[in-house]
Structure 1
Amino acid sequence: MADEQPTSTAEHWKPIPGWEGYYEASDHGRIRSVRRTVKTERGQRTFRAQIIKSSVRKDLHFTVGLYRDGAGKCMRVHRLVMAAFVGPCPDGMEVCHNNGDPADNRLVNLRYDTRSENMIDASIHGTHHNTRKRRCPRGHVLVMPNLIRAPWDKRRFRMCLACNRASAHVAYHKDRKGDRDAIADSYYSDIMRDAA
């Protein structure tokens, strides 16, 4: 048939551990309720199967509300997909998005990895807050030559050279912390003047 989708794009569903008989996750990153009949005070009530609408958190991860026995729980979709298809998250591990898009909860885009690798991924994909910084807390512009970014550091953290030098100066000379800001501004002026 012309309307049939190729088998490679067919959506597969598996029960979510701990929620068997209530909810299932798909390898396309969706969550659905399972058709079930429940006894109530007025007889029986049948709940139809349906896709659960997800919400977006501030960190751009999708969550769904799962309910059982009158109690609800808000859970992240990527964790539910991995639990259903791969198994429970090993100790010290997190669910990582291979392409850096927290909205892409397809199984092929997810893996278990360490917190450190998750942060490195965020840096590489430009979603880590530190990679988007344009100025340091003192207001110094984070551009070369006032930018520290070690070539061996996969995380690509951006630090202010002037403030870093001022901190080292204060620590070495045991100066008062209040002097650090003035020293940092002086270093910044020198760095930017030399670059011009």
Structure 2
Amino acid sequence: MSDAEEWRQIAGYEGLYDVSNLGRVRSWSRLKRGAALRPLPNQQGYLSVALCSAGRVKYRKIHQLVLEAFVGPRPAGNVGRHLDGNLTNNVAGNLAWGTHSENMADCLKHGTHPEARKTHCPAGHEYSPENTVVRVNGKRRCRACQRERAGYKGGLPMKDRTHCPQGHEYSPENTEVKSGGRRCKTCRKAYGRARNATRRRNR
């Protein structure tokens, strides 16, 4: 073990498990063998370990254990942040507590947020710096779509409009009539594909 590695007991598992400032977890029952627990990646890419106490097994994210031991208890409403964007780098110096908004901003900065992989909005407008609004939850809004929707609301009455806010024609093949109003099938399909793609990535 490195001389720079510092071990501290895990709260709630005193005498059973330790966590180090280098992001390793060890069990007291394995100390004689000098073995650390094998981390397991979860669906989001975080590394977790299985901790057992009183016959119950609980999976805990390693970065949270490191923060609790070397920074302090998690403040209300905060989440663990990986400052370099690498979800497997659980060294204490790379971690910090922060708000959900700060964590989402980190994800966008490092290109790990699902929204960051999209180059265009569902209507086909590019997510350029000038055309993008980043919300507090990390999601992006297309300025061009916002402008079109604003003009759409103040334009012709619904019955006289020939195109949807995104510019698709209200043709018989492209129009869905529901509750007395019209919906653009092209837009609904585009949003459906985007929503399904996001769900698949988050599984």
Query: Which residue is 1:61 aligned to?
Result: 46
Between the aligned partners of 1:165 and 1:70, the Cα distance in structure 2 is 59
How far does the alpha carbon of each residue in 1:43-97 deviate from its partner, in whole angstroms, 9 at most, with x for none? xxx9966311111122111111111111100111100111112221111221111
Q: Identify if the C-alpha distance between structure 1 residues 183 and 58 changes in structure 2 by more than 3 Å, giving closer, same or farther.
A: same
Aligned AA (1:21): G
User: Which blocks of at least 5 consecutive residues in structure 2 are unaligned?
Assistant: 169-203
Query: Which residue is 1:108 aligned to?
Result: 93
| 2:81 maps to 1:96 | yes
Asked if structure 2 preserves the Cα contact closer than 8 Å seen for 1:35 and 1:47, the reply is yes
Query: Which residue is 1:169 aligned to?
Result: 151
* SS of aligned partner of 2:65: helix
| 2:179 maps to 1:185 | no
TM-score, normalised by the number of residues in structure 1 = 0.70
Between the aligned partners of 2:156 and 2:51, the Cα distance in structure 1 is 56
Query: Which residue is 1:81 aligned to?
Result: 66
Query: Which residue is 2:199 aligned to?
Result: none
TM-score, normalised by the number of residues in structure 2 = 0.68
Between the aligned partners of 1:74 and 1:102, the Cα distance in structure 2 is 16
Equivalent runs, 1:1-196 vs 2, <5 Å: 7=3, 10-35=4-29, 50-138=35-123, 140-142=124-126, 144=128, 148-149=131-132, 158-173=140-155, 182-185=164-167
Q: Identify if the C-alpha distance between structure 1 residues 174 and 16 changes in structure 2 by more than 3 Å, giving closer, same or farther.
A: farther
Residue 172 (structure 1) shift: 3.3
Asked if structure 1 preserves the Cα contact closer than 8 Å seen for 2:23 and 2:66, the reply is yes
Asked if structure 2 preserves the Cα contact closer than 8 Å seen for 1:27 and 1:81, the reply is yes
Q: Identify if the C-alpha distance between structure 1 residues 14 and 168 changes in structure 2 by more than 3 Å, giving closer, same or farther.
A: same
* SS of aligned partner of 1:116: helix
Aligned residues: 166
Between the aligned partners of 1:22 and 1:47, the Cα distance in structure 2 is 13
Q: Identify if the C-alpha distance between structure 1 residues 181 and 20 changes in structure 2 by more than 3 Å, giving closer, same or farther.
A: farther
Between the aligned partners of 2:65 and 2:5, the Cα distance in structure 1 is 16
How far does the alpha carbon of each residue in 1:125-179 deviate from its partner, in whole angstroms, 9 at most, with x for none? 11122221123234x152559x6125x9899864334432332234334865xx7
- Structure 1 range deviating more: 70-79 or 82-91: 82-91
Q: Percent identity?
A: 33
Aligned AA (1:149): T
Between the aligned partners of 2:162 and 2:149, the Cα distance in structure 1 is 7
User: How large is the Cα RMSD of the aligned pairs?
Assistant: 3.3
